[in-house]
Amino acid sequence: MSRPTGRVLILLELLQSGGTRTVAELADRLGVDGRTVRRYVDRLIELDVPVESVRGRYGGYRLGPGYRLPPLMLSDDEALAVLLGLVAGRRAGLTTSTDTASETASAKIRRVLPRHVARRLDMLLESLAFTDRPGRFATPDAAVLLTIADAVRHHRPVSMRYTDGNGRQSERVLHAYGIVAHSGRWYVTGKDARIDEARNFRLDRIADARALPGSFEAPRGPDPAQRLLSGLAAAEYRHEVTLRIHGTVEQIRARLPVGVASLEEYEPEVGEDRAAERWRRVTLWAERLDWLPPVLAALDRPFVVERPAELRDLVAALADRLASYARQD
């Protein structure tokens, strides 16, 4: 395949990814000048590919609506990346509300792949094991997800119906700043226009999302992921937990990552043991405490529960259970 022909195919792939692509963007991706991009577009049009020219400040080229894609052509690396992404997304809970969507997509990709590539990928997926269980999280509706994404991209307000954790429904108008995937869930972070305050919303609890006329100016400052983590850390939960853990940041973060707990160095009081490796104070908030004792046990580091007392009782109960199991014949 000659280099110009290869670039024409790459141009087609870029246009197939959706949206309008500017001449400057296409030229940069193809490594050519603007005049050459226009010549490649003319070549696609000669092949009956409906490439449309879009005028204006954000103009460029896009594919005409309803264009049917040619047979899928993926290299081994591309096919592997797509299928592993589908598998990982399904296990992490990062799928749309149709549980079978990733499975049917995988099946379609396999059907159009060359037989030898499909066989090799099937062997890989059959031999692949995971140390965690598949995600069991509620997942967002695909139409809601795409509507919110479009609102983020174009800074449009969104009207939506939201159901909170207590089952209460309310109508909201949201200025959406960004979509964030965190711990197996989808969130949108933005401003609730009704109360003029920053809020984070779970996408699986949003229904009837639709874009409204007008636009808003996105604020400067932290990016959407940082806004979400800050909001989750400051949220009101039933239990505030404070621990002292003897270990490195890396050891603690392996079980209590950012967004779950905050860390700070702990300075021992006069008379307390001063080990070479510092103790660290860990603070987190939780609706329930029953998940924490197994996590602390898995840390395999010395720790002290400062509060609440209820957590101490749960840790002691877990220790008693484990000791009784160890004594069984």
66-75 pLDDT, tens digit each: 666 555 566 6
- Out of 2.40.170, 2.40.360, 2.30.30, 1.10.287, the CATH code matching 142-221 is 2.30.30
Mean pLDDT for the chain overall: 80
Please write the tens of the pLDDT for every residue from 118-135. 777 777 767 766 655 555
Which residue matches tokens 């002290």? 304
Which residue matches tokens 């149709």? 98
Instruction: Report the distance separating Cα 140 and Cα 246, nearest Å.
Output: 39
pLDDT at 18: 74
Beta-bridged to residue 178, according to DSSP, are 189
Is CATH 3.30.160 what the domain over 239-327 is classified as, yes or no? no
What's the alpha-carbon Rg for the chain, to the nearest Å? 26
**Would you list the domain boundaries of the chain?**
3-63, 76-127, 142-221, 239-327
Instruction: Report the distance separating Cα 151 and Cα 160, nearest Å.
Output: 12
Span 297-321, average pLDDT: 92
Q: List all residues 6 or more positions away from 29 whose beta carbon is below 8 Å from its beta carbon.
A: 10, 14
Confidence of residue 314 (pLDDT cuts 50, 70, 90): very high
For residues 241 and 202, the answer to whether their CB atoms sit within 8 Å is: no
CATH number of 3-63: 1.10.10.10
